[in-house]
């Protein structure tokens, strides 16, 4: 490939990132430096032109405000808790699934992969509403439990953290299974046989051979689940309790109900920083560097 071809291959994705990530990021950051006002747009500009030169008139008061109001801290911590717990649950469920698919016969493997990907063919909102019908007090789950005599009255499952965890795992599970399968499918079975021949138990083989070799898939899957789960809005809004909002709900409320775009912009920038920092730390891990 000649020099122009290399520049084109590299330049197109860089231009895409610049246009649809850096430019919107810069606009939101500038909005966060302003102050709310009754106008169109509903915020004061961060810069004013003084002849040919822009003059900074904004401030970082919105970011200071985020540290002073415990609503945002509770929303951030609640988002991290739910996203982290859901990621761990996804990993515990997805790892055996990915292992079974990776070790299945080739003709069965394609069918199993299709079953994993199949939920993505349906709108996530429809799947959430289906879970709502199952978990409500008159839904299938409570009806079966009442019929079997396990409970005497319906259990409150909607508007709880349990419903949020369950829905996040149900929605994002394929994003954990696929990178794990891609890693486990490449695993050399001779290494497992060698470990068994040397007298290692199944648990020792898993802990010293299988798990380290699948670490890149684990990290990739955890990032694919954790990052969108932190900013999730629809699931906590439909399934969660009103007194435990996630940061996505707070962000939506600032934009729509309060009409405070500068504070909403500061919340969005802070959330992005919350996501980028762990991503950069994990991206520098040896497991990911060796894998890609």
Distance CA 122, CA 132 (A): 16
Q: What domains can be seen in the chain, in order of their start residue?
A: 64-291 (1.10.3720.10)
The first and second tokens of residue 284, run together, are: 């520098």
Tell me: the pLDDT tens digits for 46-71?
Answer: 888 777 788 888 889 999 998 888 88
Cβ–Cβ < 8 Å for 66, 240: no
| Whether the predicted pLDDT of 187 surpasses 80 | yes
Mean pLDDT to the nearest integer, 137-142: 88
For residue 289, what pLDDT is reported? 54
The confidence score (pLDDT) of residue 99 equals 94
Q: Which of 28, 5, 8 is nearest to 16 (CA)?
A: 8
Q: Which two tokens stand for residue 78?
A: 């609640």
d(CA 261, CA 255): 6
**Average pLDDT of the segment spanning 129-152:** 89
pLDDT value of residue 288: 54
Mean pLDDT of 175-198: 88
| 187-209: average pLDDT | 85
Residue listed under structure tokens 């069965």: 108
Rounding to the nearest 10 degrees, give the CA dihedral for residues 198, 202, 207, 209. Answer: 50
- Start-to-end CA distance of the chain, whole Å, equals 21
Which regions of the chain does DSSP assign to beta strands (E)?
47-50, 53-56
Q: What is the pLDDT of residue 292?
A: 46
Q: What is the DSSP letter of 54?
A: E
Q: What is the pLDDT of residues 208-234, one digit of tens each?
A: 888 888 998 998 899 899 988 998 889
* pLDDT the model gives residue 13: 86
From CA 275, how far away is CA 231, in angstroms rounded? 9
Length of the chain: 292
Pairing of strands 53-56, 47-50: antiparallel
- Residue tagged 């939506």 (tokens): 252
- In this structure, the number of other CB atoms found within 10 A of the CB of residue 190 comes to 8
42: its two tokens: 């509903």
The string of pLDDT tens digits covering residues 9-20 is: 888 888 998 898
How large is the average pLDDT for residues 241-263? 86
Evaluate the omega torsion of the peptide bond into residue 156 and state whether it is cis, within 30 degrees of 0.
Answer: no
Q: What is the pLDDT of residues 79-99, one digit of tens each?
A: 999 999 999 999 999 999 999
Tell me which residue of 282, 285, 257, 254 sits closest to 270, measured CA to CA: 254
- With vertex at residue 175, the alpha carbon angle to CA 169 and CA 177, rounded to the nearest 5 degrees, is 90
- Which of the four pLDDT bands, split at 50, 70 and 90, describes residue 1? low
pLDDT given at position 115 = 92
CA distance 186 to 167: 31
pTM recorded for the entire structure: 0.84
Confidence of residue 173 (pLDDT cuts 50, 70, 90): very high
Residues 6 or more apart whose CB falls under 8 angstroms from that of 177 comprise 94, 97, 98, 101, 116, 221
Q: How far apart are CA 214 and CA 207, in angstroms?
A: 11
Q: How many CB atoms lie within 10 A of CB 98?
A: 28
Residues 6+ apart with CB under 8 A from 112: 100, 101, 104
What DSSP string describes 76-111?
A: HHHHHHHHHHHHHHHHHHHHHHHHHHHTS-HHHHHH
Structural contact between residues 217 and 186, judged by C-beta atoms closer than 8 angstroms? no
Q: Smallest Cα–Cα separation from 80: which of 280, 271, 224, 267?
A: 271
Tens digits of residue pLDDT in 28-43:
999 999 888 887 788 8
């Amino acid at each position: 490939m000649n020099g122009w071809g290399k520049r084109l291959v590299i330049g197109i994705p860089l231009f895409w990132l610049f246009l649809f990530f850096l430019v919107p990021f810069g606009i939101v950051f500038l909005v966060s430096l302003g102050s709310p006002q009754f106008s169109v747009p509903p915020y004061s500009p961060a810069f004013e032109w003084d002849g040919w030169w822009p003059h900074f008139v904004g401030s970082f008061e919105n970011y200071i405000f985020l540290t002073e109001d415990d609503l945002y801290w509770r929303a951030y911590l609640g988002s991290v808790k739910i996203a982290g717990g859901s990621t761990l649950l996804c990993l515990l469920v997805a790892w055996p699934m990915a292992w079974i698919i990776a070790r299945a016969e080739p003709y069965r493997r394609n069918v199993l992969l299709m079953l994993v990907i199949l939920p993505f063919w349906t709108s996530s909102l429809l799947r959430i509403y289906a879970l709502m019908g199952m978990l409500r007090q008159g839904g299938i789950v409570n009806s079966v439990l009442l019929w079997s005599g396990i409970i005497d009255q319906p259990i409150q499952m909607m508007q709880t953290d349990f419903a949020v965890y369950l829905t996040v795992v149900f929605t994002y599970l394929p994003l954990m299974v696929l990178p794990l399968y891609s890693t486990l499918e490449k695993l050399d079975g001779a290494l497992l046989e060698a470990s068994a021949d040397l007298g290692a138990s199944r648990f020792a083989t898993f802990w010293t051979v299988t798990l380290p070799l699948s670490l890149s898939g684990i990290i990739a899957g955890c990032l694919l689940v954790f990052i969108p789960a932190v900013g999730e809005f629809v699931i906590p809004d439909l399934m969660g309790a009103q007194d435990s909002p996630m940061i996505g709900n707070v962000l939506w409320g600032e934009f729509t109900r309060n009409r405070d775009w500068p504070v909403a912009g500061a919340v969005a920038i802070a959330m992005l920083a919350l996501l980028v920092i762990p991503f950069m730390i994990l991206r520098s891990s040896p497991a990911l560097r060796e894998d890609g």
